Amino acid sequence: MDLRIGICDDAPDWREKTRETVKHCTDQMANSVEIYSFQNGNELLSEEHPPMHILFMDIEMSDENGIDLAMEVNRKWPKCQVVYLTNYWSYAMEVYETRHVYYIVKEKFEEKLSGVLEKAIEQLRKQNRRVALQCHGGVKASLKLDDILYFERDRRVTYVITKEKEYTVDEKIPEIEERIASDDFVRCHTSFLVNFSYVKECTRKKLLLENGKTVDVSRSYWKKTEDAYVEWMKRWAR
């Protein structure tokens, strides 16, 4: 996998230090890596360079807020893995408003970098995982798991709900769950298999998805769903 890694920080010394540390770490990887440095949001969001795969984002900059910039990055490059860098833990709750893969206090940057890169690369690869489905109407579909919001079983068919389209298949939920074998999906009900990436709120009885859909969590699946969501949050939402 070829990687484009960006560093956005308005402090020249720290920006260069981060670049050197990232280069040293990635020189030992099999991936081909290009590193880009940005001193502000205008440079970062410019059309003069390709999208970033991984972005190290400083939160505190003199004229800008890194969290606000990360929201723009989420919209512009939805697959980009944002890693927050800061001198303080006090922003830990604020960053949950954005999609990011890690939050690092700068003094721990060098110590944590290898694991952070491994995690970000794993997430990038997961975005490209696909499942092949034989759908009604003679349609054969190869769908990215990352594009599927949930599977819903109703009577004798299963509906596959993606960001753009709905498909119908004969496979039952347990068969699909076993085949995709993804920690991003949870069986929260006999009739539902849901992608945590699209869950906005998790309560004892329901999952609220980003598109406004509410999915029931049955009593027998609550503990499993809660535990799985906590573990998923630990891996991908910090």
Architecture of domain 3-127: 3-Layer(aba) Sandwich (3.40)
Instruction: State which of 29-33, 59-63, 115-119, 140-144 shows the largest mean pLDDT.
Output: 140-144
Higher-pLDDT residue of 123 and 139 is: 139
pLDDT tens track for 202-221? 987 999 998 999 999 999 99
* 9-61: pLDDT as tens digits: 999 999 999 999 999 999 877 668 999 999 999 999 998 899 999 999 998 88
Tokens of 3: 């990687």
Fill in the DSSP letter of residue 112: H
User: Domain locations in the chain?
Assistant: 3-127, 130-236
Do the domains spanning 3-127 and 130-236 agree at the CATH topology level?
no
Confidence of residue 1 (pLDDT cuts 50, 70, 90): low
Domain 130-236: CATH superfamily is LytTr DNA-binding domain (2.40.50.1020)
Extract the tokens encoding 110: 């060098």
For residue 132, the number of C-alpha atoms closer than 13 Å in the C-beta half-sphere is: 1
In this prediction, residue 237 has a pLDDT band, given cuts at 50, 70 and 90, of very low
Model pTM score: 0.61
